Amino acid sequence: MALPPRPGDQLTAAGSTTRVIVIRASERVTDPIECGGVPMVPSTEAPPAPSDEKPPDTLIGKRYVDATDTLELLCTASGTGHLTYGGQPLQIKAPKALPASD
């Protein structure tokens, strides 16, 4: 990506059906966001998605964060290839515990 990602940006993997929305990105996020080792592109510039016949590596509805918590992505379409930022894999964000209602 030429510009740093901003919240609300929609990105698509060039080599799979994976799609994400940027939820949070600090101004320090300057490296490319990748899926399967290929930089993700804005959804408006994405080529047609190939059909993924393998089980997905990136799961729809999951939030992915980097180790320093400066980047958060929401997966809107599952696909093959793991999400990475700066060469480091992004991890699924743990859900917040809800307060007990007892």
Cα atoms in the 13 Å half-sphere on the side-chain side of 98: 3
User: What's the rounded mean pLDDT across residues 53-65?
Assistant: 90
Q: What is the pLDDT of residues 64-86, one digit of tens each?
A: 999 988 999 999 999 989 999 98
Q: Please state the domain extents for the chain.
A: 10-47+57-92
Q: Are strands 71-77 and 19-25 parallel, antiparallel or unpaired?
A: antiparallel
Q: What is the pLDDT of residues 12-29, one digit of tens each?
A: 988 788 999 999 998 888
